[in-house]
Structure 1
Amino acid sequence: MSDTSETFDLVVIGSGPGGYVCAVKAAQLGLKVAVVEKRATYGGTCLNVGCIPSKALLHASEMFAEASHGFADLGVKVTPELDLPTMLAHKDKTVRANTDGVAFLFKKNKITGVTGAGRIVKAGEVEVTAEDGAKRTLKTKAICIATGSSVAGIPGLDVAFDRDTIVSSDDAIALKKVPATMVVVGGGVIGLELGSVWSRLGARVTVVEYLDKILGPMDADVSTQFQKLLVKQGFHFKLGARVTAVAKSSAGASVTFEPAQGGAAETLEAEVVLIATGRKPYTDGLGLQDAGVSLDKAGRVEIDAHYRTNVEGIYAIGDVVKGPMLAHKAEDEGIALAEILAGQKGHVNYAVIPSVVYTSPEVASVGQTEEELKKNGVAYKVGKFPFSANGRARAMLHTDGFVKVLADAKTDRVLGAHIVGHGAGEMIAEAAVLMEFGGSSEDLARTCHAHPTMSEAVREAAFAAFAKPIHM
């Protein structure tokens, strides 16, 4: 085995959105950077088996559903036929384009990519072991842990994933055929997105969720309305249900659950069971214990406000630290850390991090929910406007959902915005920009919006918060 040694200003372990963005920004600021990645391709979970491939399938399946059920009302007569292999090929092509794009960014910014499993020997030293066992030592002034997260499974249950009938989100983007039935364990973002894909393609989907609502942390108005829309699309829900067993069966697999508050158990069988109960920080094999890096009770790397661990020269960002497990949150942290390491004042405003569910319709949220404001004793105003009263939405037959704006009762400063509707993930950005600059609902309402657009509903909700909506 060979052992070569190189010196860098920064070594990033992990090339997901947090890691690669941190590396690119640091290189742009003049640092000599290396990135360690155990996969053969860059991009981490997000680009390889998460955000990007799932969005490719969500869009393709939405187009299939539109062609199957919506085109006729627009005067377009078609008889669509599903070609699943081509749809999956589109997904794979999208993944390749994005992972190749990261490789291009590394080359453009003179970043050294090192393939293999990274282990922190001590502050200032990372050992990388390639698949063939060859080792490479990287000396560095700073180390950034950006290893992301992995599938968490069901708390308290040892579920045997077989990648065919009992699957994780990694496997659910590559099923070889459309199952007639699917049980999704978990009513959060991942479960509802992937459940939507297979539901649109023909599966009968049942969601089993421990809480008494889907999309747990989101605004209750949003989750209630969204669940009704999913039921209209054919979803079935078992809420307040604690899963006690997942096993293979003659039908494929079975899920046994009982009411969270107690009661008789029930068993559902399906061709495929998707376990989508969240993710956990990935720290396996990093040598954190030997290096003296502290973890919290949830297994996350402990950091201060500047992403420093308790060991000088070792930092951490993204899913592996506290906060929402969102790619864009990791990206912002990566940029902030790079700026800090370059002597600048990097900062992330955690009060303005949007969250999007890429179903149809989409769900998007930024800032506080109404429940959080009540819990914190904040006096607030609510402005709501339905897409059914929006001219563009009517023209496109996308009238489901609404926009909800929450503003401080005294200052009118917008504290949160929540959208259920077509294109919600794009529209939430203007609320985020407004909140980043401390804007009010009146500021938003007095900003001219193009007509006709879906975003006029955002303006109308703002009007409803500080005065009255015009078109309702």
Structure 2
Amino acid sequence: MADFDVLIIGTGSGNSIVNHRFDGLRVAIAEEWHFGGTCLNVGCIPTKMFVRAADVAEDAKTAQAVDVEARYEGVEWDRLRERIFGRIDAIEADGRDYRTHRQDNVTVFAEHVAFTGPGSFATASGERFTAERVVIAAGSTPRDPQIAGIDGARIDSDGYPVHTSDSIMRLPSPPRSLIILGSGYIAMEFAHIFAGLGTEVTVVVRGPRLLGDLDEDVSAAFTKIFADSHSVRFGLEAERVEVGGPGGVSVALSPTGRVADATAQSLQADALLIATGRVPNTAALDAQAAGIDVREDGRIAVDAYQRVLAGGEPLPGAFALGDVSSPFQLKHVANHEARVVKHNLLADIAAGAPGSAPVGDLEEVNHHAVPAAVFTRPQVASVGETEAALRERGARCVAHTQPYSSTAYGWALNDETSFVKVLADPATRLILGAQIVGPEASIIIQPLIQAMAFGQRADDVAQHQYWIHPALTEVIENALLGLDFDAD
């Protein structure tokens, strides 16, 4: 008999799986880091709380645009940090205590756990055990770009001025100057946070654009807006970093060859933030010991039911979810995958032997109409495919771009740069994708997400419901009405 009926590796979205339906089972939970995972501790939640403070600061700085006299006089960093992490750390501690001390059927391994074979495991301290079924929800970690001069073992450690998102928000005081390496959503959100709160921020980008994975029109527009109000160095990469001295860090930059006029230069700052992406936490799991398939990008391979694959076939009793296996590093996707895994895990347990649940009893994952947002200034939101991706695969589509300034609320914002871009199939009139650059983009995109999720036609969504006047959502209505289905 196995030592445990179920092992959960990771306590981000994976922690939500174990509820009262597992009370009669022997459950093990392995967590070497913080309960709650990336989102709670160093990701979505604390960053958005910092973003809100930066938004208020930026509103004060730009109030003159709507004829208001206001000014920003600084941030009470200690109080802000305590308000954020006083709440988050209490949630983390309570979650850990609940699993460790208040559930008789749950054993917590507060250390790293790796495979030693299919269904067998070892902890970092050498304890060995078996589990009949396993859920791998180990998440991801910041990418280490391996830059000369940086001691990788000291990144995020006290007193070392090189940080990732794991440590930058817990600094005792905001740096006077900060260099950020990266052009994606993590880099853009932290650039907004620290620049908004008064830090001198310089963003270093390897290519010619910011948020380059988004629709070309959106990326180009955001790049111009952001670069007009922030210091951005395009076409450069960090060749070497010198740590120490009065400046904290000195970064030697060299051209990548992707921007014609980029030249070698050096930057100095109090701190350096590495925001060059995240990688799945698969390397230390010893997945190969269980014969688990790992994709080229490091993700554990799963099928449509979130079953882990080994040799292309489901490994009996093994499931995975979230950043460690998903093509989407998004908390809302991980939560959806966790619900699918919980259903399928319980179906598998009810069936008897691991892997014996009939496919008809299992639920498929739904990765259709997955939305995302970047909480920077301006906000950016997206769902579905980009125009370039649609054209590349030969799909017919019509596109329409609607400026915020075409609506009454856009006048109230005095906004001349924000817009909504919608893509639709001219034959079915279904929405294929949408991107928004501007205030509240993460909110006003929701009607488009809903339309895609439920197969609602663009013209029906636009014409067969009320749109509050003069709310900002009218720009969505007008974008849909602007689609010319006879133009394709």
Range of TM-score over shorter length? 0.7 to 0.9
Decide which of 116, 122, 138 is 1:147's aligned counterpart. Answer: 138
Q: Distance in 2 between matches of 1:77 and 1:298?
A: 48
Q: Which amino acid aligns with 1:455?
A: T
| Contact 1:13-1:37 within 8 A present in 2 as well | yes
2:284 aligned with 1:291: no
| Contact 1:123-1:313 within 8 A present in 2 as well | no
Pairwise CA distance, 1:367: 0.4
Please state whether the residue corresponding to 1:312 is helix, strand or coil.
strand
Q: Which amino acid aligns with 1:194?
A: F
Partner of residue 356, structure 2: none
Structure 1: any 5+ residue segments left out of the alignment?
none
2:370 aligned with 1:375: no
Q: Give the % identical residues.
A: 28
In the TM superposition, what are the counterparts of 1:126-137 in structure 2 within 5 Å? 126-128=121-123, 133=125, 135=127, 137=129
Q: Which amino acid aligns with 1:82?
A: V
Pairwise CA distance, 1:38: 2.6
Pairwise CA distance, 1:354: 0.8
Structure 1, 453-462 or 304-313: larger mean CA deviation = 304-313
| Contact 2:405-2:414 within 8 A present in 1 as well | no
Q: Distance in 2 between matches of 1:264 and 1:383?
A: 38
Please state whether the residue corresponding to 2:420 is helix, strand or coil.
strand
- Superposed CA offset, 1:338-371 (max 9, x none): 2222334322332311111011221110100111
Q: Distance in 2 between matches of 1:302 and 1:315?
A: 10
- Superposed CA offset, 1:244-281 (max 9, x none): 22222542212222222287422222222111111111
Q: Which amino acid aligns with 1:309?
A: L
Decide which of 319, 328, 335 is 1:331's aligned counterpart. Answer: 335
Partner of residue 480, structure 2: 462
Q: Distance in 1 between matches of 2:78 and 2:424?
A: 48
2:418 aligned with 1:401: yes
Distance change (3 Å), C-alpha of 1:156 and 1:181 = closer
Q: Which amino acid aligns with 1:204?
A: E
Please state whether the residue corresponding to 1:52 is helix, strand or coil.
helix
| Contact 2:137-2:322 within 8 A present in 1 as well | yes
| Contact 2:2-2:132 within 8 A present in 1 as well | no
| Contact 1:67-1:78 within 8 A present in 2 as well | yes
In the TM superposition, what are the counterparts of 1:74-85 in structure 2 within 5 Å? 75=68, 80-85=73-78
Partner of residue 196, structure 2: 200
Pairwise CA distance, 1:301: 1.5
2:108 aligned with 1:114: yes
| Contact 2:162-2:274 within 8 A present in 1 as well | yes
Q: Which amino acid aligns with 2:316?
A: E
Partner of residue 7, structure 1: 4
Q: Distance in 2 between matches of 1:152 and 1:269?
A: 22
Distance change (3 Å), C-alpha of 1:407 and 1:247 = same
Structure 1, 102-111 or 411-420: larger mean CA deviation = 102-111
Please report the TM-score for the alignment, with normalisation by the length of structure 2. Answer: 0.84
| Contact 2:61-2:70 within 8 A present in 1 as well | no
- Tell me how large the CA RMSD over aligned residues is: 3.1
Q: Distance in 2 between matches of 1:466 and 1:98?
A: 50
Q: Distance in 2 between matches of 1:77 and 1:113?
A: 55
Partner of residue 353, structure 2: none
Pairwise CA distance, 1:449: 1.7
Pairwise CA distance, 1:199: 0.4
2:27 aligned with 1:34: yes
Q: Distance in 1 between matches of 2:27 and 2:411?
A: 51
- Superposed CA offset, 1:322-345 (max 9, x none): 412112222211111222223343
Partner of residue 306, structure 1: 305
**Residues paired across the two proteins, number:** 456
| Contact 2:163-2:274 within 8 A present in 1 as well | yes
Please report the TM-score for the alignment, with normalisation by the length of structure 1. Answer: 0.86
Distance change (3 Å), C-alpha of 1:409 and 1:114 = same
Q: Distance in 1 between matches of 2:69 and 2:32?
A: 44
Please state whether the residue corresponding to 1:95 is helix, strand or coil.
helix
| Contact 2:216-2:388 within 8 A present in 1 as well | yes
Partner of residue 253, structure 1: 249
Pairwise CA distance, 1:148: 0.7
Structure 2: any 5+ residue segments left out of the alignment?
348-360
| Contact 1:153-1:159 within 8 A present in 2 as well | no
- Superposed CA offset, 1:37-77 (max 9, x none): 43464111221112211111111222233234428947575
| Contact 1:364-1:428 within 8 A present in 2 as well | yes
- Superposed CA offset, 1:145-204 (max 9, x none): 110111112267573254342211212212232323221111100011011111011122
Partner of residue 381, structure 2: 364
2:119 aligned with 1:124: yes
Partner of residue 470, structure 2: 452
Partner of residue 435, structure 2: 418
Distance change (3 Å), C-alpha of 1:264 and 1:401 = closer
Structure 1, 276-285 or 144-153: larger mean CA deviation = 276-285
Q: Distance in 2 between matches of 1:153 and 1:99?
A: 26
Please state whether the residue corresponding to 2:338 is helix, strand or coil.
helix
Please state whether the residue corresponding to 2:224 is helix, strand or coil.
helix
In the TM superposition, what are the counterparts of 1:152-231 in structure 2 within 5 Å? 152-154=143-145, 159-160=150-151, 161-163=154-156, 164-231=160-227
Q: Which amino acid aligns with 1:116?
A: A
Partner of residue 233, structure 2: 238
| Contact 1:181-1:271 within 8 A present in 2 as well | yes
Q: Which amino acid aligns with 2:230?
A: F
Please state whether the residue corresponding to 1:347 is helix, strand or coil.
coil
Distance change (3 Å), C-alpha of 1:58 and 1:404 = same
Q: Distance in 1 between matches of 2:98 and 2:386?
A: 37
Distance change (3 Å), C-alpha of 1:176 and 1:374 = same
Q: Distance in 2 between matches of 1:254 and 1:388?
A: 43
| Contact 2:142-2:164 within 8 A present in 1 as well | yes
Q: Which amino acid aligns with 1:214?
A: L
Distance change (3 Å), C-alpha of 1:94 and 1:365 = farther
